[in-house]
Amino acid sequence: MKQLQFILLAIVLMGCQSNVEELPILSYKINSEGEKETYSIKYSNFKDQDGLHVSAETIQNKIIVANFFFTRCPSICPPMRTELIKVAEEFITNDAVLLISHTIDPKNDTIEVLKNYSEATAIPNHKWLFVTSSEENTKHLAAQFMTNFKPNEDGTDFYHSSYIALLDHNQNIRGFYNSLIPEEVTRLKKDIKTLLTSIN
Amino acid sequence: MNSKILKYSVLLLLVAISVGGIYYLNLPSRHKAIIKTRINHTFGLVDNTWNITNKDQTLSLITPTLVVDQIYKSMEGPKVMRSFQIDSKTDDLVWITSFETKAISTNEVDALSNDYICHTNIDFYDGEHYSRWNLNERIGQHYPRLTSMSNGIEKYNFPDGYGFPVFGNENLFLSTQTLNHNIKSDPFSVKHQINLGYKPHSKTMKPLQSKTVFIMLPYNTDNPFQGPTEANPNMCLPVETGNHSYSNDEGESLSGHWVVFPGKKRYSYDITHQLQLKDSTTLHHIATHLHPYAETLTLKNKTKDTVIFTSIAENYTDKTGLKRVSSFSSAEGVMLYPDHAYELILEVNNTSGSDQDMMASMFLFLYDKEMHEQLKAYKVN
């Protein structure tokens, strides 16, 4: 009987492993030598809505759902936030899933502003971090997440992407999802579940 | 007590169904199609699976079943979308060189009329694509549409030696929509099959960059569905103001999807700002998207007063639809210059006797010198 249980467990684990492998590591770039270089995301000098530093420990062994936004954004951020609230709610009891939203407007999005914005989502602070740093630092991190942002010419808005990135527990990018397309958000949730099998 | 709860529950349900029904009936066709398709696929009323195969350097994506139950004009029909990769198991560099979309039967074998294809769009994620090659300043500059195939132009190859470079596991996005201008009989089902041809990396290949240019016409935001006026005869009536509407630097509202009245009409639009050329480059391929009753779409160099290419749309004479739309392809290419002005000129002849909708776009594929420099340095693992 024990042997049968072991075999079944092994089959399940092998199945899970195969699923995780179907999510390729996407955090690689072509360096100045023309070679492919894989990297993991590293945070430096970011603070969350409680004023706490975001460190390697904060993201250790977490499946991270990450995006870039700003609180005064009139265009794509409100629907992005709605979708991210749904994602946070679906994984609310799973401590391995962490959402991180990075402001691209550090001048206006102070810790206090981020705190208020966070509270309006009704998602606990430990589940969804709203983080800020200098513009230079944020641009550097955005490049790691394979995106960028820039102010529009009239200064009323920023260009930034509607894409969400998914990191595995080793801080490798495992997926990109357009948050404005329902099918993509469904795929994101499915891929989070797949990645969870690799750490549970 | 229980019977009261039951009574109120039934009443509430009836009210909800009535309100929902009235809301649904007042929706435009395209929104009804979205709801119907979602219901069909969510509840498995029709085949809701994608069949994706990769064989002989061709990636084939066959869509879930799409139910065509009424006349669907352009941009109205049932549609599906999904992200995909050429080969998620490898990060090998490959070159996309050809595109094809076709309507097929639900048995996934028999060919159907391509009259049931409105358009098939293929996008890339510009963040992932450009960041990987350290071309971050390009992210967000243009809508990252790789190409679009549509009724009348369902298949094309880039000229020999040219392609669009992607890594096997790079994210691409497909959106495909049905069309039905003519069949009013019982509902029927179709699938779309999309084939992308690709080649392994070779140092001899040259990269193309896609830029979309399209005609936009001004409209009055206060009365979007009235006009045009004598003062502004080139004004259009947008099909709807929610999609394909844009603002120019003067705050004027423009629509890229508008109504054409019976008879002949000529439209022109300066597309220099859409091209955003930084340097001189060569144009190697043009795929054109038009709606029925369009006759020609011309790309013109205004500065030199020369025609670069006229795409000819051949309309069916016995039904509504485009039989063929000609495309441009040249390995040698045509020079485009950043200090020259360019325009699109559209000739329309609406012989239907009633109002029709119109779009006019060209997908221009330009030699991408900056990307080529990165590729020259690329070392295969």
Global ipTM: 0.86
**Closest-CA distance of chain B to residue A136, Å:** 14
Question: What number of other Cβ atoms are within 10 A of residue B191's Cβ?
Answer: 25
pLDDT given for residue B241 in this prediction: 67
What pLDDT is recorded for position B273?
92
Instruction: Give residue A199's pLDDT.
Output: 75
Least CB–CB distance from A159: residue in B85, B136, B140: B140
- What pLDDT shows up at residue A16? 43
Residue A5: its pLDDT value, please? Answer: 55
Q: B267, B355 in Cβ contact below 8 A?
A: no
Find the residue in A nearest to B371 (Cα).
Answer: A30
- Nearest chain B CA: its distance from A104 CA (Å): 15
Q: What is the DSSP letter of B27?
A: S
Contacts of A159 in chain B (CB under 8 A): 140
Residue entry with tokens 């009753």: B293
Number of Cβ atoms within 10 Å of the Cβ of B182:
14
Amino acid at B293: Y
- Given this model, what pLDDT does residue B105 score? 97
pLDDT at position A154 is 65
Q: Which ranges of chain B have pLDDT less than 70?
A: 1, 231-234, 241-244
Give the H or E element holding residue B213.
strand B206-214
Which string of b and e fits B319-339 if b means at least 16 CB within 10 Å?
A: ebbbeebbbbbeeebbebeee
Q: Which residues of A touch B140 (CB under 8 A)?
A: 148-150, 159-161
Q: Report the alpha-carbon distance of residue A191 to residue A26 in Å, rounded.
A: 14
Q: How far is CA B31 from the centre of its chain?
A: 18
From the list A143, A177, A183, which residue is nearest B131 (CB)? A143
**A199: its two tokens:** 């750490």
- At residue A153, the pLDDT reads 66
Low-confidence ranges of chain A (pLDDT < 50): 1, 6, 8-18
Q: Which two tokens stand for residue A79?
A: 């629907």
- pLDDT tens digits along A46-56: 999 999 999 88
Alpha carbons within 13 angstroms on the beta-carbon side of residue B329 total 14
pLDDT in tens, B104-162: 999 999 999 999 999 999 999 999 999 999 999 999 888 899 999 988 889 999 999 99
The encoded tokens of residue B372 equal 């080529």
Q: Which of A24, A148, A177 sits opposite B91 (nearest CB)?
A: A24
- Which residues have C-beta within 8 Å of that of residue B370, sequence separation ≥ 6? B135
In the block, residue with structure tokens 């070159």: B95
The chain B residues in contact with chain A (CB within 8 A) are 81-83, 85, 88-89, 91, 125, 127-128, 131-134, 136-137, 139-140, 169-171, 173, 374, 377-379, 381
pLDDT score at A11 = 45
Chain B contact set for A161 (CB, 8 A): 127, 139-140
pLDDT of residue B1: 62
Element (H, E) at B23: helix B2-25
Helix (H, G, I), strand (E, B) or coil at A155: coil
Angle between helices A77-90 and A182-196 (to 10 degrees): 40
Contact residues of A toward B, CB < 8 A? 22-24, 26, 28-30, 32-36, 143, 145-150, 159-161, 163, 175-178, 181, 183-184, 187
Residues B366 and B284: beta-carbon distance below 8 Å:
yes
